[in-house]
Amino acid sequence: MTDSEKTEHIKKIVTAEGVALRKRYPILNHQNAIGAVILFFSLAGMITTAVLYINHQLSA
């Protein structure tokens, strides 16, 4: 088996497992949206903390 054949075989297995996981856990179909929401809340928390710190309402 050549390296490219091995690589293709691994890609097929990984893709098949990804499809199986998405069938088993349908929420994974919204993976990008979930990640965006987590990113947004993290950013909002960082901005809020920075504003409170700059206004001396939050101690170091």
Taking residue 22's Cβ as centre, other Cβ atoms within 10 Å add up to 13
Could you tell me the residue range of the domain that residue 48 belongs to?
3-54
Residue 21 falls inside a structural domain? yes
Radius of gyration of the chain (CA): 21
How many domains does the structure of the chain reveal?
1
pTM above 0.95, yes or no: no
Q: Is residue 59 assigned to a domain? A: no
Q: What is the pLDDT of residues 27-42, one digit of tens each?
A: 999 999 999 999 999 9
Structure tokens at 19: 């499809």
Give the model confidence (pLDDT) of 42-58 as tens digits: 999 999 999 999 999 99
Domain assignment present for residue 60? The answer is no
Q: How far apart are CA 15 and CA 4, in angstroms?
A: 16
